Amino acid sequence: MTKGKVIIVKENTVAIVSVHNRDYISLTDIARHRDAERSDYILQNWLRNRGTIEFVGLWEQLNNPDFNSVEFDGIKKQAGANSFSLTPKRWIEATNAAGIVSKTGRYGGTFAHKDIAFEFASWISPEFKLYLITEFQRLKEDENDRLKAEWNLQRTLSKINYRIHTDAIKETLIPPSITREQSAVIYASEADVLNVALFGKTAADWRKQNRGKPGNIRDEATLEQLVIMTNLESINAVLLRQELSQPERLRKLNEIAISQMKSLLSNSSIKKLKQ
């Protein structure tokens, strides 16, 4: 569970955290809309309902391969009885649930996947649920806009570095008297050095595997791949001026791509951009 964000829903602060790269909304904060002093009791009261048990149990069966269905069946049989009670902690420990999590500490509480959180909000108040969904969607749209801006920045950097890359090719590989068509062949060949180093395939190979799909191999790149591509273009320009052969450069660039990808995949800042 990573540090999260907050949204304001009808003057109530509702926290959102990331769990395994998925958004989990604070059920504790939602319950405070009903009664700020008895949020735990309200949450337990909702969780003891048979309809709630069936809903969260079905969610787990659809989304959690480690869900303990045997324990779930036992809990479901007890649901509805006057003596039946269920806390989030007991539910999580008994069934190995993944849709609801508990966070300890100063800013702790009970959080749930958005599907479950919206269901709880509906039980609290249909009006509150609508406001919650609206504010949550606004948050995701803002995050998507920011991610698109970051992606466009990387594309711009890639284009700038590609100019540096082609200038190095012109200086070291292209004889001054060849035709424009011959030059284009060399450029395509060098572009594929980078493609193979990073993607493991040439542009032509990608087109064969994606017939009818618009764009090209780099248009389908992830944020991490775009970052690495800008780096490889600059590095290849240096290697070209060092007069290394194409096979030597391909091997070095591939090693760099693998190393940088491992580093980026473990980088928390990149993960936050993709949440």
- Interval 206-233: pLDDT, tens: 889 988 787 888 888 887 788 888 888 8
- Interval 134-156: pLDDT, tens: 888 888 887 777 766 666 666 76
Tell me how far the alpha carbon of residue 168 is from its chain's centroid.
36
Structure tokens at 116: 């479950």
**Taking a C-beta distance cutoff of 8 angstroms, is the pair 18, 275 a contact?**
yes
Output the pLDDT for position 115. Answer: 92
- Interval 41-58: pLDDT, tens: 899 999 988 899 999 999
> Which of 20-29, 63-72, 157-166 has the weakest average pLDDT?
157-166
**Taking a C-beta distance cutoff of 8 angstroms, is the pair 85, 63 a contact?**
no
Comparison of pLDDT for 65 and 39, the residue scoring more: 65
Q: Please compute the mean of the pLDDT values over residues 81-95 and round it to a whole number.
A: 88
Q: Give me the phi and psi of 215, to 5 degrees please.
A: 80, -165
Residue in 53, 61, 122 with CA at minimum distance from that of residue 87: 53
Q: Please compute the mean of the pLDDT values over residues 181-198 and round it to a whole number.
A: 73
Question: pTM to 2 decimals?
Answer: 0.52
Output the pLDDT for position 202. Answer: 86
